[in-house]
Amino acid sequence: MQVDHWQFLQNYTPARIARGRAGHSFPTNELLKFQADHAQARDAVYSTLNIPALSESLQLTLDLPIIHLKSGIENRSQYLQRPDLGRTLSQESREVLQTMKAEESDVCFVVTDGLSAEAINQNIGSVLENIIAKLNKINWKIASICLVEQGRVAVADEIGYLLKSKIVVVFIGERPGLTSPNSMGAYITFNPQVGITDESRNCVSNIRPEGMNPETASDKIIYLLNEMKVKKISGVHLKDEANDSKYLN
């Protein structure tokens, strides 16, 4: 195998650079690693939420009601082919929320699988626990936690609207990369309602042990929540100045 003179760059990034070569090809060992990572990413797309374990652990640690909902998707193949149906609740789930007669709240947290349910299974517990503990200290009114199967980001807008929440946060499994099959994202929207588009949201991405760690992600989300509550805006209108914020102290 011929040595790659850029190999030192592997100390700074997991990206596939400076992997050496054998003739005009990858070395066999690097090719096998690539195939393994590709398989892991594909598996992440077809992973499923561990609803019983998530419901039990979240209810125990957060002391909040847990609501199990579904999008308009029937199976995983349909989820990948019909993004529009993943953005809306099923009729049955919509009726569940409509009959709750929810009281107004400051924030609603939605948890959904997205393109990597395993990212949620691994990361959601510590992040939500940290955020809700801090919000409780400043007397935020928090709606029930909603677990949604086969959801896209926009499904949270309908949920937040039906639960009469001023702000909605949706945690979702992000599209898996070859080095990040377990990456979770958080999308935050002020005044949620059906039909909102992505410029109205703020995003905190790459939440995982090897990326943005749970504590840092929690602080960033708390900052954005406080800014939204005070300024009553989100998305492109809300400038992120978290490094100077008192909310990170």
Binding-site residues, in ranges, read 153, 174, 203
**Alpha carbon 165 to chain centroid, angstroms:** 19
φ, ψ (nearest 5 deg) of residue 114:
60, -135
Contact 131, 221 (CB under 8 A): yes
Q: Which residue numbers belong to the known binding site for adenosylcob(III)alamin?
A: 153, 174, 203
Instruction: Specify the 3-state DSSP secondary structure of 196.
Output: coil
Contact 156, 187 (CB under 8 A): yes
Question: Token pair 């509550």 is at which residue?
Answer: 229
Q: Which of 236, 244, 126, 246 is nearest to 189 (CA)?
A: 236
- Rounded to whole angstroms, the Cα distance separating 156 from 4 reads 47
Q: Is 195 helix (H, G, I), strand (E, B) or coil?
A: coil
Decide: 126 and 214 in contact? Cβ < 8 Å.
yes
